[in-house]
Amino acid sequence: MIPLFVYGTLKRGCKSHAYLAGQTFLAETRTLPGYRLLLLDGYPGLVPATDDREGVTGELWSVSAECLEALDRFEGLAEGLYRREAVPLDKPHLSADAYLYAQSGEGRRVLGAAWTE
């Protein structure tokens, strides 16, 4: 099982949450400072932000390798839309994989620390 931090449409109650069916919710959490959300085309993108002091809120999940493969396809890793990498979390004190936006964020609206649908 792989720890995964989700911050947008994959969260409980959001439109893409079905991709996490059968996986285990662990906790609500946030990244350590150094990240923010950008508004993309109706969904958020997590990006590094050296000037951020809040971090980004989200959920920590434990997911299977098969689920992670499906999420990689959904998030467009092969197309270069997102990349998956470890991000440090506030509580519990550990890191988890997360999908970071891999395109230019220039001209995108900054959402800050939280996504709500």
CB 32 within 8 A of CB 115: no
* Alpha-carbon span 64 to 24, nearest angstrom: 9
- Tell me, what DSSP letter sits at residue 98? E
State the average pLDDT over residues 41-59: 95
Bond into 3 cis (ω within 30): no
Alpha helices in the chain, H assignment, sequence order: 65-74
**32 exposure class (CB count in 10 Å sphere: 0-12, 13-18, 19+):** middle
pTM of the complete model:
0.95
pLDDT digits (tens, 9 = 90+) for 66-100: 999 999 999 999 999 999 999 999 987 789 999 99
Q: How many CA atoms lie within 13 A of 14 on its CB side?
A: 19
What domains are there in the chain, each with its CATH number? 2-106+108-112 (3.10.490.10)
Cα pseudo-dihedral 11, 13, 19, 22, rounded to 10: 100
Which residues have CB under 8 Å from 115's CB, separation 6+? 7, 8, 9, 11, 37, 44
Q: What is the mean pLDDT of the chain?
A: 95
pLDDT band at 37, cuts 50/70/90?
A: very high
